């Protein structure tokens, strides 16, 4: 097709389309370009862009838009086939798009069989007239017959398809096999279906949704054959690949069903809630509505069996479910529907769709599909996958109980617990003032202003004058002045001038005999100075207690005292202050959370991880009891560190998943959400679930790259993404992440990160004995030399030496020897890190010499490592080195030296222990 040079504005849009991945953004660009071409009578360009528009709407599942646009495209072609040809480029053919449209007609019962047959007759005519093979047409007929459950027609078309030659309008190798595999699966020929799926995987056939679609289908079939390892592997592999797509794929819903039948209901719920967009079904795609409804049916059945029927399924109250859930009564209280509310409706609505399809198709195919879905949970496979956990029921149902305010202290707690809603807090203060119970009551309410002084005015929505007036009315004249003069600095960052202003205000409060203001401001300033000027902070605490020794002031002072003690590494003093603060509790949630979380921090510092877990959980319970999700999610992140510390990697992941859920329900910033993603991804790798780590780590990289994030964050995420990919056996992705990270680190002058990427790439390529491994090893070596880090130099030199032996097949250890000399020359010979590095490097050299069949030299190098290990009394290293020396000498025929080394090795273990027996076996072989 001849195309004139487009106007500059259109050319710019075309360039952007060609450089934008398939997704909503690309679709919108095509839409704009098409509108421009049509408005400016650029007919040939409009035709090509409409063909692109058809392709994009098909990929994005916009059935209605595709059907309308394709009809127009066909009419334009028919108006002048020479000017508007069937094929506009090697990737875009009108008859190929006809296959998409013809397939979609089966998805809506509003199209009668007569209409469908008419469309296929037209399609058949066009294929014959084009001179193309009938393969593409027959494949589409075959797929449609399978969708309708017309198995006689399916068998007929399938046989004809085998005889038809393939061409560029045929289904691709992956789709051809995938459709045939599902045909055999529906006929109960599971083994034949799996053979075809394995052809896709072994042949590495790819397409738009392949191999991810076939992996999701094969995973279900492998369950039937009880090959659970392969079923799990395909589930994880497919889901990890889908996470890289710019837009969510409907294949994810197949994985949700897989999770339900394998007993992973929490994981299924998570997939459904995170992919609400997939339930935004087109009006015409009724088959998609059926799939969505029956998945919800199976999910709600599983939730009810798990005793979770009362919880809402997040996202079901959004516009994404408007079509699927049309007709359901509004959720109780608005918002999302609970599993109990969905359960009956979704099955009844699915049954209505079944009746429409079966009436159109003249069989009971959809009724059978519905029955199979309803019975899905009757056959459950015990196959734990990933680490997912239900949130406590309390996080959905807990109601904040209004306290009975019968004392001034209860009012103080109520005000503290109402913040940051300053208006509501001030209303409580006014109510308390109006009660006039007694002087103690009124005096107690004054302590509420201790908390009001913590308010962030920039986010409170209350004018500083309003807040200052409330302070003044309560006699806190100096504190009122602080609100007016310092304002936003009360809660924000401060500089030296601000600290001086605080000091001046405290002086003034003392001069005008304003003890409450003196105490509150002194506490406020002490908290700010606890790390920068601890001595002054202690003086301020004494001043506060001297002027107002009330329970709220005493508790706040005890908390700050604990911080001061811990900052000075006075752990026991800190613990005592925290116990005092806990005993002074009066119900102020923020203070109680602070006490428990600082106690947990002490547990982390002292490596008493069980204590840290218990205290963090206590703080989290307090926060969730008040529905304070903004406090809960950072605590859950810290809880994950405590779990990681005591070796509970799975629990660490669960804590982070909960943190993620709660953070999404607050005003957490995008960088904070990405920090959770990064922590989640790294912990998933640590817990042995690298496939699940790929999505959150990819999200971190993408967000930081798109939003100009800190280059160090990008580098750290790329390192972690590569590690996760490697452990998930996604080797190409691991290499790509590290290779890109190497260039990115160089561009951003991140030398340490660049070294880390070079080292990992060297290891990665050495494993496969790739000829480029030496280049990366030497790059790491040179970077380490630039940073003047002898330990890193040795570690890189080990890779260089390995590359020389494995790739170059030489015994050039000059770099390693030089690096070891450099390490010794640092003068830190007694440093444990230096000595361990020397031992490891010397043993590494010994192993390489042994690989080169230089047994005597290898044994002598190992004995050198023995001596270094003996100097620092490292018995385990001495054993390893002696055994290596023995085996090396033995291989060289030096029997006496081998026996001597092995007998010496036995001194470092006891008879019956595996190390001892290994050495004994080597001796016996001699």
**Confidence bin at 581 (pLDDT 50/70/90):** very high
pLDDT of residue 788: 87
pLDDT of residue 206: 87
Of residues 490, 488, 512, the one with CA closest to residue 502 = 490
Burial (CB count <10 Å: 0-12, 13-18, 19+), residue 718:
buried
Spatial separation of the C-alpha atoms in residues 53 and 65, rounded to whole Å: 9
Residue 438 has pLDDT above 70, yes or no: no
DSSP secondary structure code for residue 89 in this structure: E
Gyration radius of the chain's alpha carbons: 35
**Confidence bin at 397 (pLDDT 50/70/90):** very low
pLDDT of residue 392: 55
Kindly report, residue by residue over 683-701, the tens digit of the pLDDT. Answer: 999 999 999 999 999 999 9
Q: Which of 242-251, 353-362, 392-401, 489-498 has the lowest mean pLDDT?
A: 392-401
Q: Does residue 906 contact residue 922 with C-beta atoms inside 8 Å?
A: no
Spatial separation of the C-alpha atoms in residues 587 and 141, rounded to whole Å: 71
How high is the mean pLDDT of the chain? 89
1-15, 314-328, 592-606 — which one is most confidently predicted on average?
592-606
DSSP secondary structure code for residue 8 in this structure: H
pLDDT of residue 463: 82
Q: Does residue 442 contact residue 433 with C-beta atoms inside 8 Å?
A: yes
Residue 121 has pLDDT above 90, yes or no: yes
From residue 922, give the alpha-carbon distance in Å to each of 664, 882, 895, 906.
Answer: 60, 12, 11, 11
Q: Concatenated DSSP letters for 816-862?
A: HHHHHHHHHTTS-TT-HHHHHHHHHHHHHHHHHHHHTT-HHHHHHHH
For residue 580, what are its two tokens? 């005092």
Q: How much of the chain exceeds pLDDT 90, in percent?
A: 62
Q: Does residue 738 contact residue 757 with C-beta atoms inside 8 Å?
A: yes
Q: Does residue 434 contact residue 468 with C-beta atoms inside 8 Å?
A: no
Kindly report, residue by residue over 617-657, the tens digit of the pLDDT. Answer: 999 999 988 888 999 999 999 999 999 999 999 999 999 99
What's phi and psi for 807, nearest 5 deg? -95, -50
Spatial separation of the C-alpha atoms in residues 414 and 631, rounded to whole Å: 17
Q: How much of the chain exceeds pLDDT 70, in percent?
A: 95
Residue 533 has pLDDT above 60, yes or no: yes
Residue 80 has pLDDT above 70, yes or no: yes
444-453, 491-500, 848-857 — which one is most confidently predicted on average?
848-857
Q: Return the H-helix or E-strand segment holding 246.
A: none
Burial (CB count <10 Å: 0-12, 13-18, 19+), residue 329:
exposed
Of residues 214, 261, 269, 222, the one with CA closest to residue 242 = 214
Q: Which of 178-182, 224-228, 403-407, 600-604 has the lowest mean pLDDT?
A: 403-407
Q: Does residue 602 contact residue 571 with C-beta atoms inside 8 Å?
A: yes
Report how many helices (DSSP H) and strands (DSSP E) the chain contains, helices first: 47, 2
Q: At what angle do helices 571-583 and 551-567 cross, to 10 degrees?
A: 160
Q: Does residue 683 contact residue 656 with C-beta atoms inside 8 Å?
A: yes
Q: Return the H-helix or E-strand segment holding 88.
A: strand 87-89
Instruction: Calculate mean pLDDT across residues 882-899.
Output: 91
Spatial separation of the C-alpha atoms in residues 451 and 434, rounded to whole Å: 20
Instruction: Calculate mean pLDDT across residues 135-144.
Output: 93
**Confidence bin at 832 (pLDDT 50/70/90):** confident
Residue 177 has pLDDT above 60, yes or no: yes
Kindly report, residue by residue over 298-313, the tens digit of the pLDDT. Answer: 999 999 999 989 888 9
DSSP secondary structure code for residue 93 in this structure: E
Residue 367 has pLDDT above 60, yes or no: yes
Of residues 431, 401, 399, 400, the one with CA closest to residue 415 = 431
Q: Does residue 466 contact residue 430 with C-beta atoms inside 8 Å?
A: no
pLDDT of residue 826: 77
Q: Return the H-helix or E-strand segment holding 407.
A: none
Instruction: Calculate mean pLDDT across residues 423-441.
Output: 72
**Confidence bin at 365 (pLDDT 50/70/90):** very high
What's phi and psi for 249, nearest 5 deg? -110, 145
pLDDT of residue 460: 67
pLDDT of residue 484: 85
Residues, the chain: 926
Q: Does residue 10 contact residue 37 with C-beta atoms inside 8 Å?
A: yes
pLDDT of residue 528: 86
Residue 17 CB coordination number (10 Å): 19
Residue 396 has pLDDT above 50, yes or no: no
Q: Does residue 562 contact residue 574 with C-beta atoms inside 8 Å?
A: yes
Partner residues linked to 312 by β-bridges: 338
Q: At what angle do helices 589-605 and 408-418 cross, to 10 degrees?
A: 70
Residue 840 has pLDDT above 70, yes or no: yes
Q: Does residue 354 contact residue 109 with C-beta atoms inside 8 Å?
A: no
Q: Determine the longest span between alpha carbons in the chain, in angstroms.
A: 103
Instruction: Calculate mean pLDDT across residues 877-900.
Output: 91
DSSP secondary structure code for residue 87 in this structure: E
Q: Does residue 626 contact residue 417 with C-beta atoms inside 8 Å?
A: yes
For residue 844, what are its two tokens? 């590494």
What is the rounded end-to-end Cα distance, in angstroms, of the chain? 81
Spatial separation of the C-alpha atoms in residues 242 and 127, rounded to whole Å: 34
**Confidence bin at 402 (pLDDT 50/70/90):** low
Residue 413 has pLDDT above 80, yes or no: yes
Q: Does residue 133 contact residue 169 with C-beta atoms inside 8 Å?
A: yes
pLDDT of residue 399: 47
Q: Which of 516-530, 712-726, 752-766, 824-838 has the lowest mean pLDDT?
A: 824-838
Spatial separation of the C-alpha atoms in residues 691 and 479, rounded to whole Å: 55
Of residues 173, 219, 179, 162, the one with CA closest to residue 199 = 173
Contacts of 789 (CB under 8 A, 6+ apart): none
């Amino acid at each position: 097709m001849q195309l004139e040079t487009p106007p500059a504005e259109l050319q710019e849009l075309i360039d952007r389309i060609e450089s934008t991945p398939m997704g909503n953004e690309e679709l919108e660009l095509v839409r704009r370009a098409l509108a421009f071409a049509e408005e400016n009578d650029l007919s040939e360009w409009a035709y090509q862009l409409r063909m692109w528009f058809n392709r994009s709407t098909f990929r994005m599942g916009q059935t209605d838009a595709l059907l309308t646009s394709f009809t127009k495209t066909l009419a334009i072609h028919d108006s002048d086939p020479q000017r508007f040809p069937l094929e506009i480029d090697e990737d875009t053919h009108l008859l190929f798009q006809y296959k998409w449209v013809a397939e979609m007609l089966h998805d809506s019962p509003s199209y009668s069989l007569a209409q469908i047959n008419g469309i296929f007759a037209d399609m058949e005519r066009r294929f014959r007239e084009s001179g193309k093979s009938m393969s593409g047409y027959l494949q589409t007929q075959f797929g449609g017959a399978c969708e309708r459950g017309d198995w006689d027609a399916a068998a007929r078309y399938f046989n004809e398809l085998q005889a038809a030659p393939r061409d560029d309008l045929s289904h691709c190798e992956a789709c051809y096999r995938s459709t045939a595999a599902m045909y055999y699966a529906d006929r109960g020929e599971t083994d034949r279906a799996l053979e075809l799926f394995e052809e896709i995987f072994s042949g590495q056939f790819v397409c738009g949704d392949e191999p991810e679609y076939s992996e999701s289908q094969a995973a279900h079939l492998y369950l039937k054959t009880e090959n659970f390892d392969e079923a799990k592997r395909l589930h994880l592999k497919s889901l990890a690949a889908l996470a890289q797509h710019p837009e969510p794929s409907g294949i994810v819903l197949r994985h949700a069903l897989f999770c339900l039948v394998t007993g992973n209901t929490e994981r299924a719920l998570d997939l459904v809630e995170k992919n609400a967009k997939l339930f935004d079904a087109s009006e015409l795609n009724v088959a998609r509505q059926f799939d969505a409804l029956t998945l919800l049916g199976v999910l709600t059945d599983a939730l009810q069996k798990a005793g979770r029927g009362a919880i809402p399924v997040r996202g079901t109250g959004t516009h994404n479910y408007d079509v699927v859930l049309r007709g359901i009564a509004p959720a109780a209280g608005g918002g999302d529907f609970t599993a109990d509310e969905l359960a009956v409706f979704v099955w009844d609505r699915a049954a209505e769709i079944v009746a429409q399809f079966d009436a159109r198709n003249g069989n009971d195919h959809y009724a059978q599909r519905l029955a199979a879905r309803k019975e899905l949970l009757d056959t459950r496979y015990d196959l734990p996958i990933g680490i997912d956990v239900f949130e406590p029921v309390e996080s959905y149902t807990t109601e904040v109980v209004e306290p009975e305010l019968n004392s001034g202290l209860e009012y103080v707690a109520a005000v503290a617990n109402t913040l940051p809603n300053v208006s509501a807090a001030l209303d409580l203060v006014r109510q308390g003032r109006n009660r006039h119970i007694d002087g103690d009551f009124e005096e107690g309410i004054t302590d509420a202003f201790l908390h009001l002084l913590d308010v962030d005015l920039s986010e409170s929505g209350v004018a500083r004058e309003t807040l200052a007036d409330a302070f003044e009315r309560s006699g806190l004249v100096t504190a009122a002045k602080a609100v007016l003069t310092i304002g936003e600095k009360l809660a924000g960052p401060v500089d030296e001038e601000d600290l001086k202003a605080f000091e001046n205000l405290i002086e003034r409060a003392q001069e005008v005999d304003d003890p409450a203001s003196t105490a509150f401001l002194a506490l406020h300033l002490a908290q700010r100075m606890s790390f920068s000027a601890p001595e002054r902070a202690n003086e301020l605490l004494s001043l506060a207690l001297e002027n107002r020794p009330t329970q709220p002031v005493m508790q706040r002072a005890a908390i700050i005292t604990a911080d001061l003690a811990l900052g000075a590494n006075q752990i026991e003093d800190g613990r005592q202050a925290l116990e005092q603060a806990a005993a002074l509790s009066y119900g102020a949630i923020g203070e109680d959370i602070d006490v428990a979380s600082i106690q947990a921090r002490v547990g982390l510092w002292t490596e008493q991880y069980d204590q840290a877990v218990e205290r963090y959980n206590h703080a989290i319970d307090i926060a969730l009891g008040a529905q304070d999700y903004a406090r809960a999610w950072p605590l859950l992140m810290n809880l994950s560190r405590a779990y990681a510390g005591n070796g509970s990697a799975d629990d660490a992941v669960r804590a982070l998943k909960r943190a993620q859920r709660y953070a999404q329900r607050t005003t957490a910033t995008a960088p904070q959400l990405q920090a959770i993603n990064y922590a989640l991804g790294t912990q998933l790798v640590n817990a042995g679930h690298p496939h699940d780590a790929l999505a959150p780590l990819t999200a971190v990289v993408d967000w930081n790259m798109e939003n100009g994030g800190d280059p160090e964050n990008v580098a750290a995420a790329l390192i972690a993404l590569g590690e996760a990919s490697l452990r998930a056996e996604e080797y190409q992705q691991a290499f790509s992440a590290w290779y890109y990270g190497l260039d990115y680190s160089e561009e951003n002058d991140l030398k340490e990160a660049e070294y880390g990427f070079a080292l990992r790439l060297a290891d990665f390529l050495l494993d496969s004995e790739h000829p480029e491994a030496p280049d990366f090893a030497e790059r790491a070596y040179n970077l380490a030399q630039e940073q003047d880090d002898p330990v890193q130099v040795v570690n890189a030199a080990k890779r260089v030496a390995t590359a020389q032996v494995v790739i170059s097949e030489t015994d050039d250890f000059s770099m390693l020897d030089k690096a070891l000399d450099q390490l010794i020359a640092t003068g830190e010979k007694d440093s444990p890190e230096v000595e361990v590095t020397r031992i490891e490097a010397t043993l590494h050299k010994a192993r390489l010499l042994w690989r080169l069949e230089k047994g005597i030299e290898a044994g002598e190098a190992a004995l050198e490592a023995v001596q270094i290990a003996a100097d620092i009394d490292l018995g385990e290293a001495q054993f390893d080195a002696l055994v290596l020396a023995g085996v090396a000498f033995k291989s060289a025929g030096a029997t006496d030296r081998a026996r001597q080394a092995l007998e010496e090795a036995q001194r470092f273990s006891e008879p019956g222990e595996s190390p001892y027996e290994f050495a004994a076996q080597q001796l016996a072989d001699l």
